[in-house]
């Protein structure tokens, strides 16, 4: 609501529940739609650029990404200091192996000459296929119908498939289809906006090209990070001719087609990175992947994809009755989340998923605090993989802790790809120490909600202990015996370097308590594991006692007179931002005011106290929650895409159902309506997940803290009903909320105790549990 027109208007997407489609090609929205129409599988992301490439006007980011495939570069500071992050990692494009274009009688397709009609493009959330059609009339008057279909396979993680068909409508002549793999440069300009990713202009270095029969594979290498990628292709039928140089291979298919005769090719492309396969085996791995895809065929891949997605929706679908636009936003969000999540234990969810290079493809706390709940309750095996990723970078976090003068423990980076700190502005980066507590919180949630303790035993406990060690080093017991934590930044990036940030302190308290509880549990149930862990990391009983003590006496700043939690010790001292006289065109503030101006005021970019009220809601009473909500809502600009969903949930929590709905409207179609004016750089993964949370945590009031699901649902007045499923403790529970009642149905698993509006009930198989609202 504080957003103003920036440079890109809202996309033109037809409203329907299970797909997005564009009824026309609009160059001014090309970059934006490329983001929306991105296909991915958590490992590969193919932006929705056109098969024929840059010849389409406005095509800005004809990019293919692999999750976590990065280049690295030293960070050069105009004024450096000890301990500043030394090198950046940033996602780089891999070669585009999906391209196909055509000629008719030797004349190359060009959408900018002749006439383009009957254009449509559609991405289907149930088949996972992106379909595009148009009729092109060349200057010669020759007319063809073109249809292409694309998918990025969920069952063959290396594979992208394209079916491309051309039908001459008013002539008989030569149809030449040209398929390619291209590693082409692109100019990218940098600006002042810190949210845009670093340069993507650089090319990968050529290493090798291998071609045999119907298989061709490039190997390219990054300049600094020593990563290699194989981009390869195999066609359903072998091309008539193949040619290549170091950056591009072309596969030519010639046909004489009669009027009405459809000429088509099917292309399978495979990507293998040296991050998952050793360099000498990459080409073989690509060949295997392509051979398998070739054997299944395009229709077979579509069938697999449809099956995969049917299963996904069965476990995840949120149904919204009475608003197709929001239903579409919800499905879009869920589909893109599925596409975004790395699931190999070595990759994670970038701020932009696999849809763009915004925020350099970095992983943030967004994963643990915003995105993980969705997977935890729909695809817990993916949630576990996301946590395994963090565990896999524990050594890097230990190294960072040493750089930050901690002689023990681990400090996770604010932003990274493979583990090292990549934040180059520490007041809103490394200073956000709460990342450690966020990860511990996620580990606890995973363990409690799934009931799976194996992750905790195998990796989680070590992560929790090592990260907990940082807290005592960041503070001390004050004169009143309270433990304080100094010079940190909380989630709200409009305030930096403060003492006793409430969110940080509350989360640190939870973190240390959790660590102490794990020790007790291990000591009782797995003493050998505890002993070996103690030995491995040198954990002492004194340390554990300090955790207990610091947690027990953690300072949470509170203004007793007003009954308000303070965001930090000094927050209430500062003047409140002059909202009354703030020009509308000065939002988001970060693009119009120096950080010093913003930091000097009571003004929040996003929830901080309010987020603590959600995550640790059981630690706060309802009166405080409501007062805190009222106070902080009035001073929050929601300049972060992480804001509206939390305010939606907490508005519901404190009883503001209309506000809850309004905020939900800000997040449910955030990318579809380009509300933050930067979706061209990629989707906002955390906000996508926020849409899901707004319904499940917000409208349905679910909390699963400790592994017990509590609900407190209401139905927004605008809807007829809504319905969703959640996984908890190996059960699959369906929740349907109608005007006057909630219906709980156990779809899988044993009887489950839940709480409905404060009343504990047991849901058993084959029997709807109907409760009044």
659 binds a copy of itself (CB under 8 A): no
542 binds a copy of itself (CB under 8 A): no
Distances 529 to 143, 407, 522, 526 between C-alpha atoms, Å: 71, 24, 7, 5
596 binds a copy of itself (CB under 8 A): yes
Q: Which of residues 750-769 bind a copy of itself (CB under 8 A)?
A: none
403 binds a copy of itself (CB under 8 A): yes
Name the helix (H) or strand (E) containing 534: helix 527-537
CB of 574 to a copy of itself, least distance (A): 5
Residue 344, class by beta-carbon neighbours within 10 Å (0-12 exposed, 13-18 middle, 19+ buried)?
Answer: middle
**Residue in 123, 128, 100 with CA at minimum distance from that of residue 302:** 128
**Residue in 511, 507, 492, 502 with CA at minimum distance from that of residue 556:** 502
Q: Assign 655 to helix, strand or coil.
A: coil
75 binds a copy of itself (CB under 8 A): yes
Quick one: which segment of 31-39, 78-86, 456-464, 731-739 binds a copy of itself (CB under 8 A)?
78-86
549 binds a copy of itself (CB under 8 A): no
| Annotation: binding site | 365-366, 605-606
Contacts of 291 (CB under 8 A, 6+ apart): 234
Residues in the chain: 773
CB of 594 to a copy of itself, least distance (A): 3
569 binds a copy of itself (CB under 8 A): yes
501 binds a copy of itself (CB under 8 A): no
Phi then psi dihedrals of residue 462, to 5 deg = -65, -40
83 binds a copy of itself (CB under 8 A): yes
What single-letter DSSP state applies at residue 616?
Answer: T
Contact pick of 123, 496, 650, 668 for a copy of itself (by CB under 8 A): 496
CB of 630 to a copy of itself, least distance (A): 20
Query: Do 488 and 433 form a contact (C-beta atoms < 8 A)?
Result: yes
**Residue placing its CB nearer to a copy of itself in the complex, 637 or 666:** 637
What single-letter DSSP state applies at residue 214?
Answer: T
**Residue placing its CB nearer to a copy of itself in the complex, 74 or 758:** 74
CB of 534 to a copy of itself, least distance (A): 25
β-strand 710-711 against 721-728: which pairing, if any? Answer: unpaired
Token pair, residue 194, equals 């810190």
Contact pick of 12, 314, 536, 592 for a copy of itself (by CB under 8 A): 592
580 binds a copy of itself (CB under 8 A): no
**Residue placing its CB nearer to a copy of itself in the complex, 419 or 429:** 429
599 binds a copy of itself (CB under 8 A): yes
**Residue placing its CB nearer to a copy of itself in the complex, 126 or 482:** 482
Query: Do 464 and 520 form a contact (C-beta atoms < 8 A)?
Result: no
Determine the Cα–Cα distance for residues 599 and 153; give it in Å rounded to an integer. 46
Of 22, 368, 493, 633, catalytic: 493
Determine the Cα–Cα distance for residues 719 and 733; give it in Å rounded to an integer. 21
Determine the Cα–Cα distance for residues 675 and 662; give it in Å rounded to an integer. 14
Determine the Cα–Cα distance for residues 91 and 71; give it in Å rounded to an integer. 6
**Residue placing its CB nearer to a copy of itself in the complex, 18 or 572:** 572
**DSSP alpha helices (H): ranges in 281-413?**
282-316, 324-340, 372-378, 380-392, 394-403
Establish whether the linkage from the previous residue to 489 is cis, with ω within 30° of 0: no
Contact pick of 84, 209, 308, 521 for a copy of itself (by CB under 8 A): 84
497 binds a copy of itself (CB under 8 A): yes
* x-or-dash string of contact with a copy of itself, 424-463, rule CB under 8 A: xxxx-xxx--------------------------------
Contact pick of 295, 405, 528, 580 for a copy of itself (by CB under 8 A): 405
Contact pick of 210, 255, 526, 600 for a copy of itself (by CB under 8 A): 600
Query: Do 147 and 243 form a contact (C-beta atoms < 8 A)?
Result: no
| Annotation: binding site for substrate | 365-366, 605-606
Q: How many CA atoms lie within 13 A of 127 on its CB side?
A: 17
Phi then psi dihedrals of residue 251, to 5 deg = -120, 120
Based on the residue annotation, tell me whether 466 is a catalytic residue of this protein: no
Name the helix (H) or strand (E) containing 661: helix 657-668
Determine the Cα–Cα distance for residues 661 and 655; give it in Å rounded to an integer. 11
Residues touching a copy of itself, count (CB under 8 A): 49
Determine the Cα–Cα distance for residues 118 and 459; give it in Å rounded to an integer. 55
407 binds a copy of itself (CB under 8 A): no
300 binds a copy of itself (CB under 8 A): no
594 binds a copy of itself (CB under 8 A): yes
Q: Which of residues 460-489 bind a copy of itself (CB under 8 A)?
A: 474-476, 478, 484, 486-487
Contact pick of 203, 236, 404, 747 for a copy of itself (by CB under 8 A): 404
CB of 579 to a copy of itself, least distance (A): 14
List residues near a copy of itself by CB under 8 A: 75-84, 88, 192, 194, 403-405, 423-427, 429-431, 474-476, 478, 484, 486-487, 496-497, 499, 569-570, 573-575, 590-597, 599-600
- Residues with a catalytic annotation lie at 493
């Amino acid at each position: 609501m504080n957003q103003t027109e920036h440079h890109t208007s809202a996309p033109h997407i037809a409203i329907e529940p299970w797909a997005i489609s564009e009824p026309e090609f609009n160059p001014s929205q090309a970059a934006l739609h490329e983001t929306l129409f991105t296909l991915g599988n958590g490992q590969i992301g193919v932006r929705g650029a056109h098969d024929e490439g840059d010849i389409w006007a406005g095509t800005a980011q004809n990019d293919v990404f692999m999750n976590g495939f990065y280049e690295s570069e030293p960070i050069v500071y105009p004024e450096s200091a000890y301990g500043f992050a030394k090198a950046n990692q940033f996602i780089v494009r891999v070669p585009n192996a999906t391209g196909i274009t055509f000629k008719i009688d030797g004349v190359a397709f060009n959408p900018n000459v002749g006439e383009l009609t009957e254009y449509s493009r559609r991405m289907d959330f149930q088949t996972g296929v992106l379909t595009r059609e148009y009729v092109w009339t060349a200057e010669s008057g020759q007319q063809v119908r073109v249809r292409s279909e694309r998918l990025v396979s969920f069952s063959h993680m290396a594979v992208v498939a394209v079916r491309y068909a051309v039908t001459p409508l008013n002539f008989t002549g030569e149809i030449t289809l040209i398929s390619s793999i291209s590693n082409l440069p692109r100019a990218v300009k940098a600006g002042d906006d810190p949210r845009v990713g670093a340069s993507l202009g650089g090319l990968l270095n050529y290493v090798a090209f291998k071609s045999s029969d119907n298989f061709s594979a490039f190997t390219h290498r990054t300049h600094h990070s020593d990563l290699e990628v194989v981009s390869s292709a195999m066609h359903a039928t072998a091309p008539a001719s193949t040619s290549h140089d170091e950056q591009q291979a072309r596969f030519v298919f010639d046909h004489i087609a009669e009027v009405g005769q459809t000429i088509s090719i099917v292309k399978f492309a495979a990507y293998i990175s040296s991050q998952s396969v050793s360099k000498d085996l990459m080409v073989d791995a690509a060949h295997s992947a392509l051979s398998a895809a070739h054997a299944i065929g395009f229709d077979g891949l579509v069938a697999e994809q449809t099956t995969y997605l049917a299963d996904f929706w069965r476990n995840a679908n949120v149904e919204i009755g009475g608003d197709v636009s929001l239903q579409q936003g919800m499905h879009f969000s869920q589909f893109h989340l599925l596409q975004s999540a790395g699931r190999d234990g070595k990759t994670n969810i970038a701020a932009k998923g696999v849809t763009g290079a915004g925020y350099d493809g970095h992983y943030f706390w967004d994963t643990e605090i915003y995105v993980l709940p969705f997977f935890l309750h729909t695809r817990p095996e993916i949630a576990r993989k996301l946590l395994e990723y963090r565990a896999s970078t524990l050594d890097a976090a230990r190294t960072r802790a040493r750089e930050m003068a901690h002689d023990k423990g681990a400090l996770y980076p604010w932003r990274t790809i493979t583990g090292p700190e990549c934040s180059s502005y520490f007041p809103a980066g490394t200073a956000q120490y709460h990342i450690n507590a966020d990860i511990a919180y996620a580990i606890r949630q995973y363990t409690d909600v799934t009931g799976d303790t194996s992750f905790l035993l195998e990796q989680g406990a070590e992560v929790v202990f090592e990260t907990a060690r940082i807290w005592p080093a960041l503070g001390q017991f004050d004169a009143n015996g309270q433990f304080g934590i100094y010079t940190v930044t909380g989630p709200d990036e409009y305030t930096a370097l403060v003492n006793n940030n409430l969110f940080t302190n509350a989360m640190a308290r939870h973190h240390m308590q959790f660590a102490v509880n794990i020790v007790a549990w291990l000591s009782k149930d797995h003493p050998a594991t505890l002993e070996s862990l103690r030995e491995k990391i040198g954990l002492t009983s004194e340390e554990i006692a300090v955790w207990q003590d610091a947690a027990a006496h953690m300072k949470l700043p509170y203004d007793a007179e007003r009954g308000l939690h303070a965001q930090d010790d000094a927050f209430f001292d500062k003047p409140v931002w002059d909202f009354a006289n703030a020009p509308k065109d000065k939002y988001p503030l970060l693009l119009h005011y120096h950080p010093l101006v913003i930091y000097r005021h009571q003004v929040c970019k996003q929830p901080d106290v309010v987020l603590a009220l959600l995550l640790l809601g059981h630690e706060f009473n309802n009166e405080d929650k409501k007062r805190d909500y009222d106070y902080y809502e009035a001073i929050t600009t929601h300049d972060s895409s992480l804001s509206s969903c939390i305010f939606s949930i907490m508005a519901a929590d404190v009883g503001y159902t209309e506000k809850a709905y309004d905020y939900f409207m800000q997040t449910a179609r955030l990318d579809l309506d380009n509300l933050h004016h930067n979706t061209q750089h990629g989707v906002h993964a955390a906000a996508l997940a926020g849409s899901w949370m707004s319904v499940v945590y917000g409208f349905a009031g679910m909390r699963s803290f400790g592994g017990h699901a509590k609900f407190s649902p209401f139905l927004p007045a605008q809807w007829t009903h809504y319905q969703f499923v959640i996984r908890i403790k190996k059960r699959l529970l369906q929740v349907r909320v109608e005007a006057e009642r909630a219906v709980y149905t156990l779809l899988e698993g044993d009887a489950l105790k839940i709480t409905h509006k404060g009343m504990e009930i047991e849901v058993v198989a084959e029997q709807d549990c109907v409760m009044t609202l």
